[in-house]
Protein backbone atom coordinates (compact mmCIF):
# COMPACT_ATOMS: atom_id res chain seq x y z
CA UNK A 1 0.00 0.00 0.00
CA UNK A 2 1.44 3.39 -0.99
CA UNK A 3 0.51 6.66 0.70
CA UNK A 4 1.75 9.56 -1.43
CA UNK A 5 0.94 12.55 0.76
CA UNK A 6 1.40 15.21 -1.94
CA UNK A 7 -1.50 13.84 -3.97
CA UNK A 8 -3.74 15.73 -1.52
CA UNK A 9 -3.64 19.45 -0.78
CA UNK A 10 -1.95 20.18 2.53
CA UNK A 11 0.78 22.35 4.04
CA UNK A 12 3.17 19.43 3.49
CA UNK A 13 3.38 20.55 -0.17
CA UNK A 14 4.91 23.89 0.90
CA UNK A 15 7.54 22.22 3.08
CA UNK A 16 8.45 19.90 0.22
CA UNK A 17 8.56 22.82 -2.22
CA UNK A 18 11.05 24.62 0.05
CA UNK A 19 13.18 21.50 0.42
CA UNK A 20 13.35 21.04 -3.34
CA UNK A 21 13.95 24.72 -4.19
CA UNK A 22 17.58 25.31 -5.18
CA UNK A 23 17.40 28.74 -3.49
CA UNK A 24 15.56 27.89 -0.29
CA UNK A 25 17.37 24.61 0.40
CA UNK A 26 20.65 26.53 0.87
CA UNK A 27 19.34 27.55 4.28
CA UNK A 28 20.29 24.33 6.09
CA UNK A 29 18.39 25.21 9.25
CA UNK A 30 15.18 25.68 7.26
CA UNK A 31 15.91 22.46 5.38
CA UNK A 32 16.25 20.49 8.62
CA UNK A 33 13.16 22.10 10.13
CA UNK A 34 11.14 21.29 7.02
CA UNK A 35 12.36 17.70 7.27
CA UNK A 36 11.22 17.64 10.91
CA UNK A 37 7.85 19.10 9.94
CA UNK A 38 7.43 16.43 7.26
CA UNK A 39 8.16 13.88 9.99
CA UNK A 40 5.48 15.34 12.25
CA UNK A 41 2.84 15.22 9.51
CA UNK A 42 3.77 11.72 8.40
CA UNK A 43 3.74 10.43 11.99
CA UNK A 44 0.26 11.89 12.43
CA UNK A 45 -0.93 10.20 9.23
CA UNK A 46 0.55 6.87 10.33
CA UNK A 47 -1.11 7.24 13.72
CA UNK A 48 -4.47 6.83 11.97
CA UNK A 49 -3.41 3.30 10.97
CA UNK A 50 -2.39 2.05 14.42
CA UNK A 51 -4.41 0.01 16.92
CA UNK A 52 -6.26 1.75 19.76
CA UNK A 53 -7.93 0.61 22.94
CA UNK A 54 -10.53 2.30 25.10
CA UNK A 55 -9.42 3.98 28.31
CA UNK A 56 -10.81 6.47 30.80
CA UNK A 57 -9.14 9.59 32.05
CA UNK A 58 -9.95 11.40 35.24
CA UNK A 59 -10.41 15.14 34.80
CA UNK A 60 -10.96 17.65 37.64
CA UNK A 61 -14.70 17.39 36.90
CA UNK A 62 -15.25 13.71 36.17
CA UNK A 63 -14.20 10.95 33.81
CA UNK A 64 -13.86 10.99 30.01
CA UNK A 65 -13.65 8.03 27.64
CA UNK A 66 -10.73 8.07 25.23
CA UNK A 67 -9.12 5.77 22.65
CA UNK A 68 -5.37 5.39 23.19
CA UNK A 69 -2.75 3.86 20.87
CA UNK A 70 -1.95 0.35 22.06
CA UNK A 71 0.92 -0.69 19.77
CA UNK A 72 4.55 -0.79 20.81
CA UNK A 73 6.40 1.26 18.23
CA UNK A 74 10.03 1.08 17.18
CA UNK A 75 11.25 4.06 15.19
CA UNK A 76 14.38 3.26 13.19
CA UNK A 77 16.34 5.69 11.00
CA UNK A 78 19.08 5.35 8.46
CA UNK A 79 21.91 7.75 9.25
CA UNK A 80 22.62 10.53 8.64
CA UNK A 81 19.86 12.24 6.69
CA UNK A 82 17.21 10.39 8.69
CA UNK A 83 17.99 12.31 11.90
CA UNK A 84 15.76 15.39 11.43
CA UNK A 85 12.91 13.22 10.14
CA UNK A 86 13.37 11.03 13.23
CA UNK A 87 13.18 14.11 15.46
CA UNK A 88 9.88 15.12 13.82
CA UNK A 89 8.44 11.64 14.41
CA UNK A 90 9.58 11.71 18.06
CA UNK A 91 7.58 14.88 18.66
CA UNK A 92 4.41 12.95 17.76
CA UNK A 93 5.32 9.47 19.06
CA UNK A 94 7.13 10.66 22.16
CA UNK A 95 7.64 7.43 24.10
CA UNK A 96 8.70 4.94 21.42
CA UNK A 97 11.80 2.77 21.26
CA UNK A 98 14.46 3.78 18.76
CA UNK A 99 16.94 2.20 16.37
CA UNK A 100 19.73 3.69 14.24
CA UNK A 101 21.46 2.20 11.24
CA UNK A 102 24.55 3.43 9.45
CA UNK A 103 24.09 2.41 5.81
CA UNK A 104 25.96 4.15 3.03
CA UNK A 105 26.78 3.76 -0.63
CA UNK A 106 30.30 2.51 -1.36
CA UNK A 107 30.95 3.39 -5.01
CA UNK A 108 32.70 1.06 -7.43
CA UNK A 109 34.86 2.21 -10.35
CA UNK A 110 32.17 1.26 -12.91
CA UNK A 111 29.69 3.69 -11.34
CA UNK A 112 27.72 1.01 -9.48
CA UNK A 113 27.63 0.93 -5.69
CA UNK A 114 27.23 -1.50 -2.82
CA UNK A 115 25.44 -0.66 0.40
CA UNK A 116 27.72 -0.94 3.41
CA UNK A 117 26.02 -1.40 6.73
CA UNK A 118 28.52 -0.85 9.50
CA UNK A 119 26.55 -0.11 12.62
CA UNK A 120 23.10 -0.93 13.91
CA UNK A 121 21.61 -0.29 17.30
CA UNK A 122 18.09 -1.56 17.66
CA UNK A 123 15.73 -2.94 20.34
CA UNK A 124 13.74 -6.13 19.89
CA UNK A 125 11.11 -5.50 17.19
CA UNK A 126 9.13 -8.74 17.59
CA UNK A 127 5.38 -8.09 17.46
CA UNK A 128 5.95 -4.32 17.42
CA UNK A 129 5.17 -1.68 14.81
CA UNK A 130 8.38 -0.91 12.95
CA UNK A 131 8.59 2.52 11.31
CA UNK A 132 11.72 2.72 9.17
CA UNK A 133 12.81 6.18 8.03
CA UNK A 134 15.04 6.93 5.03
CA UNK A 135 14.39 10.41 3.59
CA UNK A 136 15.29 9.50 0.00
CA UNK A 137 13.99 6.15 -1.28
CA UNK A 138 16.03 5.96 -4.52
CA UNK A 139 16.81 2.36 -5.52
CA UNK A 140 15.51 0.71 -2.36
CA UNK A 141 18.93 -0.92 -1.77
CA UNK A 142 19.56 0.71 1.65
CA UNK A 143 16.09 -0.16 2.93
CA UNK A 144 16.49 -3.70 1.62
CA UNK A 145 19.84 -4.29 3.32
CA UNK A 146 18.61 -2.69 6.54
CA UNK A 147 15.48 -4.83 6.69
CA UNK A 148 17.51 -7.98 6.04
CA UNK A 149 19.72 -7.14 9.03
CA UNK A 150 16.74 -6.31 11.20
CA UNK A 151 15.42 -9.86 10.80
CA UNK A 152 17.79 -10.72 13.67
CA UNK A 153 15.76 -8.39 15.92
CA UNK A 154 12.36 -10.09 15.44
CA UNK A 155 9.32 -9.98 13.18
CA UNK A 156 7.30 -6.75 13.43
CA UNK A 157 3.49 -6.78 13.48
CA UNK A 158 3.43 -3.87 11.01
CA UNK A 159 6.11 -2.38 8.79
CA UNK A 160 5.97 1.25 7.65
CA UNK A 161 8.66 2.53 5.26
CA UNK A 162 8.85 6.33 5.23
CA UNK A 163 10.59 8.71 2.80
CA UNK A 164 10.30 12.38 2.00
CA UNK A 165 10.77 11.65 -1.71
CA UNK A 166 10.69 8.23 -3.37
CA UNK A 167 11.49 7.18 -6.92
CA UNK A 168 9.07 4.89 -8.68
CA UNK A 169 11.91 2.35 -8.95
CA UNK A 170 12.46 2.45 -5.17
CA UNK A 171 8.75 2.05 -4.48
CA UNK A 172 8.56 -0.95 -6.83
CA UNK A 173 11.62 -2.49 -5.16
CA UNK A 174 10.09 -2.26 -1.68
CA UNK A 175 6.75 -3.55 -2.94
CA UNK A 176 8.44 -6.52 -4.59
CA UNK A 177 10.66 -7.61 -1.70
CA UNK A 178 8.55 -6.44 1.27
CA UNK A 179 4.97 -6.80 0.06
CA UNK A 180 3.44 -6.24 3.50
CA UNK A 181 5.14 -2.84 3.93
CA UNK A 182 3.05 0.31 4.01
CA UNK A 183 5.01 2.94 2.07
CA UNK A 184 4.65 6.58 3.10
CA UNK A 185 6.18 9.31 0.98
CA UNK A 186 5.91 13.03 0.31
CA UNK A 187 6.22 12.54 -3.45
CA UNK A 188 7.08 9.96 -6.09
CA UNK A 189 9.53 11.09 -8.80
CA UNK A 190 9.96 9.14 -12.01
CA UNK A 191 13.68 9.22 -12.73
CA UNK A 192 17.08 8.33 -11.28
CA UNK A 193 20.44 9.65 -12.50
CA UNK A 194 23.26 7.27 -13.49
CA UNK A 195 24.49 7.68 -9.88
CA UNK A 196 21.02 6.81 -8.56
CA UNK A 197 20.03 10.28 -7.40
CA UNK A 198 16.31 11.02 -7.64
CA UNK A 199 15.23 13.42 -10.44
CA UNK A 200 13.97 16.05 -9.89
CA UNK A 201 14.38 15.03 -6.22
CA UNK A 202 16.16 17.60 -4.10
CA UNK A 203 19.86 16.65 -4.22
CA UNK A 204 21.81 15.04 -1.39
CA UNK A 205 19.60 15.14 1.68
CA UNK A 206 22.45 14.38 4.09
CA UNK A 207 24.63 17.19 2.70
CA UNK A 208 21.72 19.62 2.78
CA UNK A 209 21.08 18.82 6.45
CA UNK A 210 24.64 18.62 7.71
CA UNK A 211 27.11 19.87 5.06
CA UNK A 212 29.30 18.22 2.48
CA UNK A 213 31.29 15.18 3.55
CA UNK A 214 34.90 14.55 2.56
CA UNK A 215 34.57 11.29 0.68
CA UNK A 216 31.72 9.28 -0.84
N1 LIG B 1 20.09 10.10 -1.40
C2 LIG B 1 19.94 11.43 -1.49
O3 LIG B 1 20.30 12.17 -0.58
N4 LIG B 1 19.38 11.94 -2.60
C5 LIG B 1 18.97 11.17 -3.65
O6 LIG B 1 18.47 11.69 -4.63
C7 LIG B 1 19.14 9.77 -3.51
C8 LIG B 1 19.71 9.26 -2.39
Structure confidence by residue, pLDDT tens digits, 132-143:
999 999 999 999
pLDDT value of position 207:
96
Kindly state the average pLDDT of the residues 151-164: 97
Say if pTM beats, i.e. exceeds, 0.85.
Answer: yes
**Cα 162 from Cα 86, distance rounded (Å):** 10
Q: Which residues contact 199 (CB under 8 A, 6 or more apart)?
A: 189, 190, 191, 192, 193
pLDDT value of position 166:
98
Write out residues with Cβ below 6 Å of ligand 1: 81, 136, 138, 197-198, 201, 204-206
pLDDT value of position 35:
98
How do strand 52-59 and strand 62-69 relate by DSSP bridges? antiparallel
pLDDT value of position 112:
83
Residue percentage of the chain with pLDDT more than 70: 99
Atom of ligand 1 nearest to the CA of 204: 3
Residue whose CA is closest, atom 3 of ligand 1? 204
Ligand 1 centroid vs 133 CA: distance in angstroms?
13
Atom of ligand 1 nearest to the CA of 201: 6
Collapse the DSSP code of 153 into the 3-class scheme (helix H, G, I; strand E, B; otherwise coil) and give the result. Answer: helix
| Check whether domain 2-210 has CATH 3.40.190.10, yes or no | no
* Res 216 pLDDT > 60: no
User: What's the pLDDT tens digit per position in 190-206?
Assistant: 999 988 999 999 999 99
Ligand 1 centroid vs 57 CA: distance in angstroms?
45
Among 82, 198, 203, 212, residue to substitute to test ligand 1 (most atoms within 8 Å of Cβ): 198
Within 10 A of 65 (CB to CB), how many other CB atoms are there?
8
Atom of ligand 1 nearest to the CA of 192: 6
**Cα 31 from Cα 49, distance rounded (Å):** 28
Residue whose CA is closest, atom 7 of ligand 1? 197
Residue whose CA is closest, atom 2 of ligand 1? 204
| Higher pLDDT, residue 109 or 163 | 163
Which spans in the chain are helix H? 12-20, 28-47, 82-92, 141-150, 168-177, 205-210
Burial class (CB in 10 A: 0-12, 13-18, 19+), 64: exposed
User: What are residue 41's phi and psi, to 5 degrees?
Assistant: -65, -45
* Res 150 pLDDT > 70: yes
* Res 101 pLDDT > 90: yes
Ligand 1 centroid vs 136 CA: distance in angstroms?
5
Kindly state the average pLDDT of the residues 46-74: 98
**Cα 80 from Cα 76, distance rounded (Å):** 12
Residue 213 confidence class, pLDDT cut points 50, 70, 90: confident
Ramachandran assignment for 140, one of left (phi > 0), alpha (psi -120 to 50 degrees), beta (any other): left
Kindly compute the dihedral angle of the four CA atoms of residues 74, 18, 198, 143, in this order, to the nearest 10 degrees.
0
Residue 157 confidence class, pLDDT cut points 50, 70, 90: very high
Amino acid sequence: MIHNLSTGKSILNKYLYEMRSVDKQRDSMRFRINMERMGEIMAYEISKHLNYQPATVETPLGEANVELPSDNIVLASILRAGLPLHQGFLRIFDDVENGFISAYRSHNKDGSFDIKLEYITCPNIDGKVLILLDPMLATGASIHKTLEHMEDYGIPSQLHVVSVIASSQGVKHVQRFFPTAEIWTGAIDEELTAKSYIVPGLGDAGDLCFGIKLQE
